[in-house]
């Protein structure tokens, strides 16, 4: 594999005011300067740049670069976390503006760690990456009871639900949660993704999940694939 | 070859010398241990600080292990749902809601027990509060007493009782990076602090190094054969932090620790354990003079056991490699038997290998699979016979 490179968005100059430069922001997200990112994004908003443009041209390049490096095992959890934190700082400012422009998320995603499992470091990375990919994301955190999943799925009319489990002793709750979603009559309304260290494609098939995310990048790919698949519309 | 004593066998394996059969090293979590103990008619199957090795020895363990340190305090302890228990490190621990926090949730939990049959699902204990999250906390923090007889007396007893016949090992885990992120600071905070306030992380790691060095030296003075440090830096597919960060944060501190231990006993053996894939730092581990290390999660990351053996097997004795994530809890009896054979073929040929499941045997393992593993290692673990001929 070749060394991941910064992908500079094509034609960004035409979408930015005269003399504008994004490169400082690309680097800030890459090295995880969250305070600088916050300040820069505020400046961009004040300048009147379209929020979608700020996201695509300003925030994504540095984030995607780190995502690629993470996949290639060039960087690791600490570096990915600070980049995710910087990205989050920028997103927090952009998200309300996108909503005000009535820009629709590509899907509503509910996620959490199954009942009994308290490990969420990987999940928090997946959450941010899904959000960056354009999903409206609700992260229920750790140790989530199946009822809580069901309640949230209904309330938000979710398109996708994802649950992770780190332990071989808690992974069974992925099955329980799917069974409970089925019993609640919601199985055809949502696509289900699973992940976590002891999980495999075989396990996903066995318990009737729609997809398995081997890692954070795969989880996002799977989510994008599943959102395009047909499912029963919410009433 | 004539039958060796357990201690001889283990030491010879560490030195890559010819042996009669593969040394064995089984470790259990309480629920699994109680299940198997019943079969052998063993009544005391205590784990953790009250550890009783009878069952492990009955299964052919060549080593007697006693664990002290952060993990020993919390991981085998019974904590009621909803309770928080504070360890001597002032870390708070609680159970997750796996068994249910009320009648109704408990019913839900019992359904899962029916599905698994004899393989019970049990909740683990989790750190729920962390004592050092600021420089102020660090300044005021009191490390536990490394001369604590509560920890050292059982080691003396182990050496007196088993030291002649068996290899004796003291496990100081979790020791350094893992101790800091999982317990003392909190995982997310630890990783962010590496950038935001590195002096806090350095301070915590220095404190841990000092404490464990003293505690370990006390254990070595009692005549044990091996110190095991356990420090999880591997995730399923890769390392959690970069090999360079590990070299900066952990390597010099372990170097200091091991030198201090060897000042007490220059013949001391050292084992370094990490869960997950930590293959990028194996050369560093060898450089530190570690004698034994594991292949802990054969299902993810670097799965090339033959390659690892070929590359590092001459400089490092290996342990583990038998999958406890999928094969042992969920494979059939035939799968387990085939899995044992494969691992022994991969790692046992030529010596320098200690058979062990890749981690603790957990509560979710069906008893027939434990039995199948136990039988298979007897059938395939003898040197001079297939597959070790």
Question: How high is the ipTM of this complex?
Answer: 0.86
Q: Which chain B residues in 299-328 lie under 8 Å from chain A, judged by CB atoms?
A: 299-300, 324-326
Which secondary-structure segment (H or E) carries B227?
Answer: strand B226-230
Residues from chain A contacting residue B241 (CB–CB below 8 Å) = 76-78
Cβ–Cβ gap A116/B123 under 8 Å: yes
Of A143, A169, A200, the CB nearest to B121: A169
CB under 8 Å to A92, separation ≥6 — which residues?
A: none
- pLDDT above 60: residue A1: no
Domain assignment present for B386 = no
Q: Measured between beta carbons, which residues in chain B are less than 8 angstroms from residue A198?
A: 299, 325-326
Task: Identify whether B389 is part of a domain.
Answer: no
Instruction: Please indicate whether, in this complex, the C-beta atoms of B96 and A143 are within 8 angstroms of each other.
Output: yes
Query: Does a cis peptide bond (omega within 30 degrees of 0) precede residue A186?
Result: no
Q: Do the Cβ atoms of B188 and A169 come within 8 Å?
A: no
Domains annotated for chain A, with CATH where assigned, are 12-100 (1.10.1240.10), 107-227 (3.40.50.280)
Dihedral sign from CA coordinates of B33, B34, B38, B44: positive
Task: Note the helical H segments in chain B.
Answer: 6-14, 30-40, 54-58, 70-74, 103-116, 135-140, 149-162, 177-178, 187-196, 198-221, 243-249, 251-264, 282-287, 305-312, 327-330, 333-343, 367-380
- Strands lying side by side in the sheet with B269-273: B63-68, B167-173, B226-230, B269-273, B292-295, B317-320, B353-354
Q: Which residues in chain B are closer than 8 Å to A75, comparing Cβ atoms?
A: 242
- CA–CA dist B261, B269 (Å, integer): 10
Q: What is the model's pLDDT at position B109?
A: 65
Cα–Cα distance, B237 to A122 (Å, whole number): 12
Look at residue A100 in the predicted model and tell me its pLDDT.
83
Pairing assessment for the beta strands B92-95 and B125-129 based on DSSP bridges = antiparallel
| Contact between B192 and A124 using a beta-carbon 8 Å cutoff | no
- pLDDT of the residue at B123: 63
CB contact under 8 A, A121 and B194: no
Could you give the CA distance from residue A38 to residue A45 in angstroms, rounded to a whole number? 11
Q: pTM, whole model, 2 decimals?
A: 0.88
User: Rounded CA gap, B299 and B325, in Å?
Assistant: 8
Q: Is residue B387 part of a domain?
A: no
Average predicted confidence (pLDDT) for chain A: 91
- Residue B308 belongs to what domain range? 6-380
Predicted pLDDT at B118? 46
**What is the spatial distance between Cα B304 and Cα B332, in angstroms, rounded to a whole number?**
23
> What is the pLDDT tens value at each position of chain B, 389 positions in all?
788 999 999 999 999 999 999 999 999 988 888 888 988 899 998 988 889 999 999 999 999 999 999 999 988 788 877 788 999 999 999 876 666 566 666 666 666 566 555 445 566 788 889 999 999 999 999 999 999 999 999 999 999 999 999 999 999 989 999 999 999 999 889 999 999 999 999 999 999 999 999 999 999 999 999 999 999 999 888 899 999 999 999 999 999 999 999 999 999 999 999 998 999 999 999 999 999 998 767 777 788 999 999 999 999 999 999 999 889 988 999 999 999 999 999 999 999 999 999 988 887 788 899 999 999 999 999 999 999 99
Please name the member of A146, A167, A172 whose beta carbon is closest to the beta carbon of B124.
A167
Domain count, chain B: 1
What is the CATH classification number for the domain harbouring B276?
A: 3.20.20.210
Tell me the per-residue pLDDT of A15-52, one tens digit each, with 9 for 90 and over: 999 999 999 999 999 999 999 999 999 999 999 999 99
> In the A/B pair of chains, how many CB contacts fall below 8 A?
97
Question: In a 3-state reduction of DSSP, which class is residue A108?
Answer: strand
**Phi, psi dihedrals of residue A110, rounded to the nearest 5°:** -110, 130
In a domain, B340, yes or no: yes
H or E, element range at A160: strand A160-164
Contacts of A1 (CB under 8 A, 6+ apart): A72
For A169, residues 6+ apart whose C-beta sits below 8 A from its C-beta are: A116, B121, B122, B123, B124, B362, B363, B364
The verdict on B363 touching A (C-beta cutoff 8 Å) is yes
């Amino acid at each position: 594999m070749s060394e991941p490179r910064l992908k500079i968005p094509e034609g960004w100059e035409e979408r930015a005011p005269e003399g504008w430069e994004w490169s400082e922001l690309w680097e800030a997200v890459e090295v995880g300067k969250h305070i600088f990112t916050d300040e820069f994004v505020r400046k961009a908003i004040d300048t009147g740049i379209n929020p979608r443009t700020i996201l695509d041209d300003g925030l994504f390049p540095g984030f995607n670069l780190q995502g690629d490096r993470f996949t290639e095992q060039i960087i690791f959890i600490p570096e990915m976390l600070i980049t995710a934190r910087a990205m989050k700082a920028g997103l927090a400012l952009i998200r309300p503006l996108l909503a005000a422009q009535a820009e629709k998320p590509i899907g509503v995603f509910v996620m959490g760690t199954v009942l009994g499992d308290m490990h969420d470091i990987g999940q928090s990375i997946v959450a941010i990456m899904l959000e960056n990919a354009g999903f409206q994301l609700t992260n229920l955190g750790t140790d989530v009871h199946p009822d809580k999943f069901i309640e949230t799925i209904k309330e938000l009319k979710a398109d996708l639900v994802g649950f992770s489990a780190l332990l071989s002793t808690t992974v069974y709750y992925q099955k329980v949660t799917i069974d409970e979603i089925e019993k609640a009559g919601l199985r055809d309304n949502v696509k289900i993704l699973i992940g976590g260290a002891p999980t495999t494609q075989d396990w996903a098939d066995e318990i009737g999940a729609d997809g398995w995310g081997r890692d954070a990048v795969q989880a996002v790919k799977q989510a994008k694939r599943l959102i395009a698949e047909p499912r029963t519309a919410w009433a | 070859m004539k039958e060796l004593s357990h201690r001889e066998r283990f030491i010879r394996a560490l030195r890559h010398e010819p042996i009669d059969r593969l040394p064995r090293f089984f470790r259990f979590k309480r629920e699994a241990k109680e299940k198997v103990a019943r079969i052998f008619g063993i009544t005391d199957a205590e784990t953790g600080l009250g550890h009783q090795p009878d069952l492990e020895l009955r299964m052919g363990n060549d080593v007697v292990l006693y664990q002290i340190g952060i993990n020993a305090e919390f991981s085998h302890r019974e904590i009621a749902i909803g309770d928080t228990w504070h360890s001597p490190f002032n870390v708070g621990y609680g159970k997750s809601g796996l068994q249910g926090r009320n009648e109704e949730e408990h019913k839900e939990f019992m359904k899962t027990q029916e599905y698994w049959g004899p393989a019970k699902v049990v909740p683990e204990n989790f750190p729920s509060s962390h004592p050092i999250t600021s420089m102020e906390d660090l300044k005021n923090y009191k490390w536990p007493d490394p001369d604590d007889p509560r920890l050292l007396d059982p080691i003396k007893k182990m050496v007196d009782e088993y030291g002649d016949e068996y290899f004796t090992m003291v496990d100081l885990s979790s020791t350094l990076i893992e101790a800091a992120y999982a317990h003392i600071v909190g995982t997310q905070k630890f990783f962010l602090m590496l950038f935001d306030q590195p002096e806090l992380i350095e301070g915590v790691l220095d404190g841990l190094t000092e404490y464990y060095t003293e505690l370990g030296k006390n254990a070595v003075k009692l005549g044990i054969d091996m110190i095991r440090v356990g420090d999880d830096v591997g995730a399923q597919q890769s390392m959690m932090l970069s090999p360079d960060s590990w070299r900066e944060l952990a390597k010099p501190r372990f170097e200091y620790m091991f030198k201090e231990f060897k000042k007490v006993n220059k013949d001391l053996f050292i084992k370094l354990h990490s869960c997950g894939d930590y293959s990028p730092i194996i050369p560093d581990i060898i450089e530190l003079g570690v004698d034994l290390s594991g292949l802990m999660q054969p299902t993810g990351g670097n799965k090339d056991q033959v390659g690892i053996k070929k590359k590092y097997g001459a400089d490092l004795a290996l342990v583990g490699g038998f999958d406890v994530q999928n094969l042992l809890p969920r494979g059939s009896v035939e799968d387990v038997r085939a899995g044992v054979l494969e691992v022994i073929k991969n790692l046992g040929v030529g010596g320098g290998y200690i058979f062990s499941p890749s981690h603790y045997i957990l509560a979710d393992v069906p008893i027939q699979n434990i039995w199948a593993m136990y039988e298979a290692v007897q059938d395939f673990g003898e040197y001079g016979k297939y597959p070790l001929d």
